[in-house]
Structures are given as structure tokens and as C-alpha cells.
Chain A
Amino acid sequence: MKSHDNRAWLLLVPAAAVMGFVGVVPLVTVLNFSFHDIFTLDSLHWVGTEWYESIITSGRFHASLARSLLFSALVLGVQLPLGIAVALLLVRAGRAGLLMLLLVAVPLVVPWNMIPIMWLSLINPETGFAGQAMAALGIMFDYKFTALHTWMLLVVMDTWHWLGLVVILAYAGLSGIPRPYYQAAAIDGASRWALFRYIELPRISSALFIVILLRFVDSFMIYTEAFAINAGGPDNATTFLSLDLGEDIKGFSYGSAAARAMVYFLIVLSVVRIFVAVTDHRNRQRPEASA
């Protein structure tokens, strides 16, 4: 049992100081900028909520928001089930499973701006393995000008990049399940689905909680990879929220960029808040599931 002691805050001082400097101060600065028109940093002109109004009512914002949401939905829809399935496979594969676990972790250590470079080389029709194979099969893969192909490339590339995170965290939960649980389930004649639903899923639910949040936010705000593949093209078909923000910053439109950043931050924050509230609620209803 944990004891109640407010002096524990003293132990948080270093962490709070660092987070204050790199988190709270910049956030307050963005908030302040977002209400100003900024020519240079010395001349701020108060404009109230003008930036917010023009962003929220613009069709471009709605379109980018829809694209970002679609991308997140695709990413979660593909990577979550696939990652869990792979983890289930690896837990039963023993020594080979552990090696595979290390292999799927490798894409996680590739610097983010290298990933598009690797994939563009791979699908290059003249020098890339996949590009040559597709050319030989007569498949015209044109990520530059066909929106569907750009999207496919982004989703496949992102899956390659991040599948390992889902697999590692799911694997961690699964490998901790004691063998007698499975034996008991076998005696009861439980179906494969029942085994997953009532024994395996509860063990990985807390790990899935953070996976879903991390994958949602990182895909929702994808920048480096999406920009490198096609800079938002073709014809803005892959212009996500973060690419709009990058454009504002590059155009020195700091007031507008700050307001945009705040809007994005609030979207992310509300999703997290709702998600935490829902999980808390479920854990309180079924306390045994949170173990």
C-alpha cells in the first residue's frame, strides 16, 4: 500500500523543471502567438481569435482533417490486428519467435527521414527489387501521380515502420500468461476465440492502450515520411494536417501557424482525455481486466 506524502513532490522537481522548460513554456508561447499577427517577433499585433476563425472555417482545414483521420483509421485498422496476430504467432514459436521479435524491432531504429528514402529505392522501377518485380509483372505503380498508389505506399511503409511496436508490447503481455490458464481453458473446451477474448486480450489491454494512443497521434500528425514521399501530392491527395502547419511555418506566417498548432494540440488532447476516461470507466466496471 502506498503512503500519502506530499513531500514526494520534491522528487519530481528535476522532471518538472525539464518538462516546464521544453513543454509548458513553449506551449504558453504558442498560445500567446496564436492571438497575434506577427511581422517580426518584436512587433506583435493583437488580433483576438481571428486566426482560429479563419482556420476552422476553411475548407482546406476540413479536407486535411478528413485525410488525417482516414490515414489514422487505416493505420490503426491494419497495424493493430496484424500486430496482435503476429505477437500470438511469435509467443508460440519459441526461440524462432524471439529472433523474429528482434527482427520486427529493427525498423523502429531507422531514422524517420531514412524510411521514405529506403522505400523509394525499393520501388524504383529500374534499380529497386520491388520496382523491378512490379515492372516485370506489368504493374504500373505510379506513386507520383496516382493518389491511390501514394496512399498504398504510405500505409504499407508506415506498417513496416511501426508494426514492431505493436508486436513488442502485445508480446510482452502475452508471454506473461501462466501455462495453467491455457490448460484450464483446454479442459473447459474453450474455442480459440474465447481463449483470446477472455484470457489473452485482458492481459494485453493495458499495453494496447498505449499502442493505440501512440499510433493514433503519430499517424494523425505524420510529417517527415509523408512530406518526403510526395510533398502532399498528387493534387493535395496526401496533404495531412501537419503538412499545412509546415507550410505556414515555412511561409513565416507565425500567428497563423501558432493558431493551427493550438487547434491540433486541442484535438489530440481531447482524444487522449476521452480515451483515458473511457478506459478508466471500463477498468472500474471490470477490475479483474486491468490486471
Chain B
Amino acid sequence: MSVLRAAALLVLAGFILLPLAQTIVLSFTATLPHDGTLEGSFSLINYRNIFASPALVDALLNSLIYVLLNVALCLAAGLPAAYAFARYRFVGDRHFLFLMLAFRLTPPVVLSLPIFILFAQFNLINSPVGIALVHCLFNLPIAIWILESFIRAVPREFDETAFLDGYSLPGFFLRHLVPAIAPGIGVAAFFCFIFSWVEVVFARILTVTAGKPITMAINALFTFQTDIGLVMAMTVFSLLPGLAMIWFVRNHIARGFTIRT
């Protein structure tokens, strides 16, 4: 029985690793004839080419900027909302949560056209602020759900003691609540980071001439004669921030994801 289990785990690991291994191998292979390297041989040329291209380095930075901005926005707007849901009942609370669920589940393609028109009027095209804002559409509900479940686990007396000590609500949030639910903040930040990092539809339509994210920079590499090794090297780079995030939240990743409506 335990042999069967080990075999199942090995098959699973192989299934997950195979496309990743393919990507990594190709990223270290010269796939187009370059000076001094034989096509198909081991080479670091793809990684050198990334740093030789300002457009690719810029794309990496653009992606990082809007993703971090999105995480900050979701936490700043999500924390008070999560606190409201965790501690109070009020008129329309269930409707608000259902609306959140509905927007989280609305496919980006459905809203892509009006969002482009709306954002063009507010000068939010080609700007990291625009992408960071629009990614709140699916990340803010997630942030609220995760934070709410962590806040609910904190006893009410915790809040009351702080208020008796004379803390205002913002002071209480920053000095007491945030440290108390630090793992929850980490998990919420993780999911917001990931979903913003991997999203393509909005990131594409909102960057017309500048501010291209890494995903679009990779798409632009596809030409008549695509250097697939370079594409794969960029893909490896696009994986690194996500891998780092997985490592940071490894002890909390499987916690606190209860969705209420």
C-alpha cells in the first residue's frame, strides 16, 4: 500500500515537473544560430540576451510595479472591509458579499471593452496604476475573504482592550490588528500577488504603446523566426517572483480560505 502511495506521488511529481523541466532545458539551449554557439548546444546566451535588451528588463520592472501596487491597494481597501464583516452585522452585508463573489467570478473578457474606454478617459492607459486598479476586480474580494476569516479568529476582547487603552480605529488597525493577523496578511498578499502576476487579458488591453508587462513582452518575441530559447529564459524569470512568494508563505499557504456569501 505504501509502495502504491509512493508511486502515485512520483507520478504526480513527474507530471508537474515535466513541462517545467522542458522550459528550463530550452532556456539553457541556443535555439537560434548565434555567434560562437552551435544551435542546440548548452549556452547562457538566452539569459545574456535578456539583460542586453532594455525592453525585456523594463517589462520585468513594469510587472513588478503594478503587482505590488495592486497588493497594497487590496490590503488597504480590504482590511477595513474585512473588519466590518468579521465584527458587525449591518443592512445589506450579505448582498455586498454576493456582489463581491459575482465580480470575482465575472470573466475579464466580459468587462474588457468598457474598462478600456473608461480608463482611456481617466488617462489610465499605459500606466501601472490602471492595471493595479483593474486587478482589484478579482483580488479585492479574495483579500476580504481571507482577511475576514483571520480577523474572526481573533477574540473580540482583543479589540475592546485596545479601544479602552485609547486607540483610535486606524491606530488599532496598524498597531494591534495587523501584527495579530500577520499570517493572514501574508496569505492575502500571496494570492493577490499571484493572480495579478499571471493575469493577461486586462494587462494586454490596458498597455497599448508603453508600460508593457512581462507577459506581453514575451508575446512580442514571437516572430517569423522565434528564438524559443529566449522565450523560455523569460518564462523562467516570470516564474521567480511566484516561487519566492510560495516559499515565503509555505507554512500558511494551506490555511484560512473560507468564503462566505
User: A: which residues have CB within 8 A of B?
Assistant: 2-9, 11-12, 14-19, 21-23, 25-27, 29-30, 33, 41, 86, 89, 92-93, 96, 98, 100-114, 117-119, 121-122, 127-130, 160, 163, 168-169, 171-172, 175, 206-207, 209-210, 213-214, 217-218, 220-221, 223-224, 242, 245-246, 249, 254, 257-258, 261-262, 264-265, 268-269, 272, 276
Q: Can you offer 22 A-B residue contacts whose CB atoms are under 8 A?
A: A2-B88, A4-B88, A6-B90, A9-B91, A14-B76, A18-B133, A23-B103, A23-B106, A25-B114, A26-B111, A30-B110, A106-B243, A106-B246, A109-B198, A110-B235, A110-B238, A111-B198, A111-B200, A111-B215, A113-B215, A258-B113, A268-B107
Residue among B93, B115, B200 making CB contact with A112, cutoff 8 Å: B200
Known contacts: A21-B133, A100-B9. The answer to whether A272 contacts B77 by CB under 8 A is no
Residues of A with C-beta under 8 A to B198: 108-112
Residues of A with C-beta under 8 A to B133: 18, 21-22
B65, CB-defined interface residue at 8 Å: no
Complex formed: what's the CA distance from A223 to B109 in Å? Answer: 8
Contact (Cβ within 8 A) B105 A113: no
Residues of A with C-beta under 8 A to B241: 109
Q: Which residue of B lies closest to A261 (CB)?
A: B110
Residue among A4, A14, A33, A129 making CB contact with B77, cutoff 8 Å: A14
B51, CB-defined interface residue at 8 Å: no
Complex formed: what's the CA distance from A184 to B134 in Å? Answer: 50
Residues of A with C-beta under 8 A to B164: none
Residue among A29, A86, A118, A269 making CB contact with B23, cutoff 8 Å: A118
Contact (Cβ within 8 A) A2 B19: no
- A-B pairs, 4 with minimum CB distance: A109-B242, A221-B107, A29-B114, A11-B84
Pick from B41-49, B178-186, B250-258 the stretch touching chain A: B250-258
Contact (Cβ within 8 A) B77 A18: yes
Complex formed: what's the CA distance from A89 to B5 in Å? Answer: 7
Contact (Cβ within 8 A) A206 B258: yes
Map CB proximity to A onto B166-199 as digits: 1 under 8 Å, 0 otherwise.
0000000000000000000000000000100111
Contact (Cβ within 8 A) B134 A22: yes
Contact (Cβ within 8 A) A172 B255: yes
B210, CB-defined interface residue at 8 Å: no
Contact (Cβ within 8 A) B245 A109: yes
Contact (Cβ within 8 A) A217 B105: yes
Residues of A with C-beta under 8 A to B92: 9
B69, CB-defined interface residue at 8 Å: no
Complex formed: what's the CA distance from A271 to B8 in Å? Answer: 35
Map CB proximity to A onto B1-39 as digits: 1 under 8 Å, 0 otherwise.
000010011001101111111110010000000000000
Interface of B: prevailing SS? helix
Residues of A with C-beta under 8 A to B199: 112
Contact (Cβ within 8 A) B258 A207: yes
Q: Which of B118, B144, B245: most chain A Cβ within 10 A?
A: B118
Residues of B with C-beta under 8 A to A129: 18, 21-22
| Shortest Cβ gap from A141 to chain B (Å) | 15
Residues of A with C-beta under 8 A to B113: 30, 33, 249, 254, 257-258, 261
B55, CB-defined interface residue at 8 Å: no
| Shortest Cβ gap from B249 to chain A (Å) | 10
Contact (Cβ within 8 A) A172 B254: yes
Complex formed: what's the CA distance from A171 to B96 in Å? Answer: 29
**Which residues in window 231-250 of B have CB below 8 A to A?**
231-232, 235, 238-239, 241-243, 245-247, 250
| Shortest Cβ gap from A105 to chain B (Å) | 5
Residues of B with C-beta under 8 A to A265: 106-107, 110
Contact (Cβ within 8 A) A121 B23: yes
B140, CB-defined interface residue at 8 Å: yes
Q: Which of A14, A23, A25: most chain B Cβ within 10 A?
A: A23
Q: Which residue of A lies closest to B216 (CB)?
A: A113
Residues of B with C-beta under 8 A to A113: 200, 215, 218-219
| Shortest Cβ gap from B197 to chain A (Å) | 7
Complex formed: what's the CA distance from A168 to B190 in Å? Answer: 13
Contact (Cβ within 8 A) A8 B84: yes
Contact (Cβ within 8 A) A104 B215: no
Residue among A5, A163, A224 making CB contact with B88, cutoff 8 Å: A5
Q: Which residue of B lies closest to A269 (CB)?
A: B102
Q: Which residue of B lies closest to A224 (CB)?
A: B200
Q: Which residue of B lies closest to A90 (CB)?
A: B9
Residues of A with C-beta under 8 A to B228: 121
